[in-house]
């Protein structure tokens, strides 16, 4: 059956386009949203009436409602939502500007809620649908210099986990996707983004973070198109996975982090269990 996709964060060379092309390869139809829809016009023209590009700033709730309504009116509904829009900024926990922190949460977390809430009523009415939340390896493994970005993605992970259980009985499936370093245009902006940090003690650490991302731009190991196809394959499994990590380094980093976390928890099992009232009251 042909499915209708609603994908946020459409930019040339981005993960949103990779998801769209993977869906189109299967014969599905796609609504791709973009803050700069004119940049996607030539790409969309290759697919005729199977693609609709909609202008959308996901941080504007009114625009979100209009975009979802336009998609539902154009194709008759939304079967798969991919919350892909997002961005990362770097900075220390102590020194990062609060307005930048709040902007990152608005884009990476609250916008995900806004779009999801707008799409779910149609899915509930049909008793079917998919919500795919693009998190990050950083949503499971935090890193110095990217603590607040990780916090936004950890929040996405928590909401995804709970949403999955809340909507399962209504025929809606939910998947968290955690890409590692993927060869999109996401790292290109670091070249022109200087370290903005008021506390000198963190300058060296943040310089190293920025340099690492600049050096990796264009040579990231992850293939966005292979990643998007892996997501579609995972969605077809029975049962489908709860999350899907994309990339070798990401898989290894998450596995190692979770194993260390479990070992740390178990090392203090006695202290943890002593925190309850005695069993005899």
Task: Output the furthest CA–CA distance in the chain (Å, rounded).
Answer: 72
**Identified catalytic residue from 34, 92, 114, 135:** 135
**Identified catalytic residue from 153, 173, 187, 202:** 153
114 catalytic? Reply is no
135 catalytic? Reply is yes
E strands, the chain, in order: 4-7, 29-34, 51-55, 80-83, 129-134, 172-179, 243-246
- Residue 52 CB-half CA count within 13 A: 19
**Residues 6 or more apart from 7 whose CB is under 8 A from it?**
16, 19, 20, 23, 30, 31, 32, 33, 82, 84
**Quick one: tokens of 154?**
């950890």
260 catalytic? Reply is no
**Identified catalytic residue from 114, 148, 149, 187:** 149
Other Cβ atoms within 10 Å of 206 Cβ, number: 22
The catalytic residues are 135, 149, 153
């Amino acid at each position: 059956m042909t499915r209708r996709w609603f994908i946020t964060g459409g930019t040339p060379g981005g993960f949103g386009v990779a998801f769209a092309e993977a869906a189109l390869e299967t014969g599905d139809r796609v609504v791709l949203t973009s803050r700069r829809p004119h940049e996607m016009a030539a790409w969309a023209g290759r697919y005729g009436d199977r693609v609709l590009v909609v202008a959308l700033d996901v941080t504007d709730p009114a625009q979100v409602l209009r975009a979802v309504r336009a998609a539902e009116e154009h194709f008759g509904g939304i079967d798969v939502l991919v919350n892909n829009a997002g961005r990362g900024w770097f900075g220390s926990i102590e020194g990062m500007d609060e307005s930048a922190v709040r902007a990152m949460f608005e884009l990476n977390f609250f916008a995900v809620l806004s779009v999801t809430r707008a799409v779910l009523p149609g899915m509930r009415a049909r008793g079917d649908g998919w919500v795919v939340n693009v998190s990050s390896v950083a949503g499971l493994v935090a890193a110095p210099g990217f603590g607040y970005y990780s916090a936004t993605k950890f929040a996405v992970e928590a909401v995804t986990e709970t949403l999955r259980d809340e909507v399962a009985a209504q025929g809606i499936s939910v998947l968290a996707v955690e890409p590692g370093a993927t060869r999109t245009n996401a790292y290109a902006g670091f070249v022109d983004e200087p370290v903005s940090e008021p506390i000198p003690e963190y300058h060296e650490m943040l310089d190293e973070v920025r340099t690492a991302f600049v050096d990796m731009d264009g040579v990231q190991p992850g293939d966005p198109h292979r990643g998007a196809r892996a997501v579609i394959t995972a969605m077809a499994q029975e049962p489908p996975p709860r999350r899907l990590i994309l990339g070798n380094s990401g898989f290894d980093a998450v596995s190692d982090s979770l194993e260390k976390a479990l070992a740390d928890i178990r090392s203090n099992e006695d202290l943890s269990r002593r925190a309850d009232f005695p069993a005899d009251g």
